[in-house]
With several copies, the nearest count.
Chain A
């Protein structure tokens, strides 16, 4: 099991009811972790509308994640 630091923004923050949390997970990739969190928290956004940031850099959904990583799921942005 890995201990992951997950931050939530915008609609995901509201749906989770938290800005951040530490998650214990066996997920090997951001995709696996997001699937786990979607099923646990009923997030409305499917993975194909979300990007993922690992340790403050955009990352592939199937990259490897490690114990202690900081993970942020990025809902569709709307700056400007």
Chain B
């Protein structure tokens, strides 16, 4: 299940949905709002999503993970709106019988979500400037 959350993500609460007696391994990932990005101090940021397509693409990624890896369950939640330093921006939780599949699927999901899901991040810097990450400068390489 992929969802967008306008309110803080509570992994301890959400992960209960992943409990399953056949699940022996649980791998999770959280993206936290850092106080810097590429050397610039960040004060806060905003995430904006194209909601219907973000959810559709997120669900597609979870389906791909279920086909590629021997997992039991997978959930991903992405925050939208205004976030502060330390907030959870994205959370991925995966269960499997064995740890290899849980790790591989968790990493696959976060990598694909970052690459494909229409969500954008605007950073507000200590300088007072702000910018849409990946959109302002020429591509990184």
Contacts and interface: CB of A to CB of B under 8 A. Distances in A.
Consensus secondary structure, chain B interface: mixed
Contacts, number: 78
A77 interface: yes
Nearest to B92: A80
A26 to B, nearest CB: 26
A58 B53 CA distance: 9
Size band of the B side of the interface?
Answer: 20 to 34
A77 B114 CA distance: 7
A16 to B, nearest CB: 13
Interface in A34-80: 44-45, 49, 53, 56-58, 72, 74-80
B94 interface: no
A76 B115 CA distance: 9
18 contacts: A9-B50, A10-B120, A10-B122, A11-B120, A11-B132, A44-B136, A45-B135, A58-B53, A74-B50, A75-B132, A77-B114, A78-B114, A78-B133, A78-B134, A79-B89, A79-B117, A80-B31, A80-B90
Given A79-B89, A79-B113, 14 more contacts: A11-B120, A13-B48, A45-B135, A53-B118, A58-B53, A58-B57, A72-B53, A77-B115, A79-B47, A79-B49, A79-B90, A79-B114, A80-B89, A80-B110
